[in-house]
A and B are shown apart, each in its own frame.
Chain A
Amino acid sequence: MKAATAAVGVIMLAIPALTTPRPLLALAGVGVLLVLGSVTSRLGRLPWIGTAAAVTAAVVAVIGHPGAVLLAAEGLIILGYVILLDWPRPAERALAWRWLRLQAPAGLAGLIATGAVLASLAVSAPASPWIVLTGLACAVAAYLVAIPREPPRQR
């Protein structure tokens, strides 16, 4: 599973690197190092290594801006990498399929969302700052939901 994670991570950085300006390829190189670090036993224990690798891939994709289809693939591959990073390391290989089946709903949801966004992008609609603002608000709301909160202390 480590090899699969590393492979997905490298592909995640290779796709946007195709269209990235040459001076910024070093950033993709750093991303590859982070990917490799995230699958090693020692560095893999640090959760920010995997996050940094995924963020690097997203940044390279934003800079390279490789077209809608490749961006859709990139988004799905980032999701796949993030899911694979959560593979419980000491688990036996026999558990892999069972674990992957449990992750299938998240992957399927990502696929549907990507399809929906691709479809909406295909429809020509007049540019509106409200759409962008709404999207930004959604992202902020999602982030606020995600951040951990301290449970209320019982007296």
Chain B
Amino acid sequence: MTAHPVTWRAGARLRRLATIALLAMAAAAVTGHGDLLLLAAPALAALAMTGRRGAPAKLALKATVAVSRCYEGEDIELTVSLDSPRVLDEITFSFDPAVTVAVVCGTTTQVTVGGTSAEARWALRPAAWGRRTPGLVRVRCRYGSVWQANLKMQVGTVEIFPHPPPARARLVPPDLLRRIGEHQARTPGQGIEFAGIRDYVVGDRLRDVNWAVSSRRRRLHVNQRAADRAADLVVMLDAFSEVGPPGDSTLDVAVRGAAALTTAYLRAGDRVGAVALGGMLRWLAPDTGDRHFYRIAEMVFDVRQDSVVTPDLDRIPRTALPPAALVVLFSPLLDERAIGAVTDLRERGFSLIVVDVLRHEPPASQRSDFSGLALRLWRLDRGALRARLADLAVPVVVWDTGDDLGVALAPLRRLPIQAGRP
């Protein structure tokens, strides 16, 4: 609990009483009517009752958030408490939530009358990921009815992890790792998926013998199974541009999409890495396990920075961007530097998918006749950009709704993902 020095100032009541007393006294003096003092007497007496003597010089104020980490949409409890060495007439707590935080329970302003301590509670629901402060707490204290002190305190930061929409680890790069996983490789192995039938060779297990085929062909045949392999996924975030309302901006959507794929692939035992384009180039080498999700999320917290620097992808070490990895870029495709990075990666032979996260078209002005035309030209330009990427064998998936990311990525399951230089 922090002790805050306070300055007691005259409140509105003190000014009102003083004004009325002065007015009545002046009127009595000017008109010579002594009975007009009756108007001033109660106000003067009430003023005489007020004294700043004994007002506490310091007040202990504490704002506590129940958790330091949560997911978007989860409720968190904020408790603010104030302790005073003397009895205060009134303690009023007000909470100004941040733009992306909603107050779920508790009125914005809470009042306690008479006492040495007071407490206010709010249930908050953050709507956007990031390392953020939920808001600002203002406290107004009254002492002796007319003296007033104001305090304010920024609530400590809370790490809000992106809430991943549902997705499944269905897309895999053409070359899988030599590690056991959940994806069926093209090569035969010890998996469970049926891959074909071949002649029996010495060393094959008897339980793999396909007796139906063997009896028809009068020669032993065995079933072949596809190898179960793990994959490497690298999620790439384009933080060069951010458009849209807070909480639903392109970067917010991109991070949620990346979180969805990260969760899905980590759950399937794959390795997932992350690269953030924009501001300072950041990367995290692929790794497995649930803990890696939190490492990626914490790296992503710092991506909101303006930058004019073009990323040099050569700086990313090979371990962070393995050649056989499937790279999924979440981008609104608005910044040429991000498009340049896509071209660069594709020319270096990476299997690449671009997820277009732009949900809001530029607003057309009703005043200008040419705004409609400009919007159509903008759409054509976007189409041309997608065609340019398609020529490089980079599929572009539009994810412009908040639905399942798997649904948006489903068409790609039928198409082979290109690897190698175009």
Contact = CB atoms under 8 A, between A and B. Distances in A.
Interface stretch (B26-34, B236-244, B251-259, B306-314): B26-34
Which of A61, A79, A85, A118 has its CB near the most chain B CB atoms (within 10 A)? A79
B57 to A, nearest CB: 11
Nearest to A140: B22
Contact of B90 (A54, A62, A72, A99): A99
A111 interface: yes
Interface residues of A, number: 62
A136 interface: yes
A91 B24 CA distance: 33
Contact of A82 (B16, B24, B113): B16
Interface residues of B, number: 53
B42 A90 contact: no
A7 interface: no
A148 B10 CA distance: 5
Given A102-B89, A102-B113, A74 B39 contact: yes
Contacts of A147: 10, 15, 18
Contacts of A110: 41-43, 45-46
Interface in A74-102: 74-76, 78-79, 82-83, 85-86, 88-92, 95, 98-99, 102
A55 interface: yes
Which of B38, B44, B45, B46 has its CB near the most chain A CB atoms (within 10 A)? B38
Interface string A97-125: 01100110111011111101110010000
A84 B12 CA distance: 12
Interface string A39-78: 0000000010011001100110110010110011011101
- The DSSP consensus for interface residues of chain A is helix
B46 to A, nearest CB: 4
Contact of B24 (A62, A67, A88, A121): A62
Given A95-B111, A139-B25, A75 B49 contact: no
Contact of B44 (A88, A107, A133, A142): A142
A78 B20 contact: yes
29 contacts: A54-B20, A58-B24, A59-B23, A61-B36, A62-B27, A62-B39, A65-B36, A71-B35, A74-B38, A75-B39, A75-B43, A82-B13, A82-B16, A86-B145, A88-B92, A89-B109, A90-B109, A90-B110, A99-B113, A107-B46, A109-B45, A121-B35, A132-B29, A139-B40, A140-B22, A142-B44, A143-B19, A146-B14, A147-B15
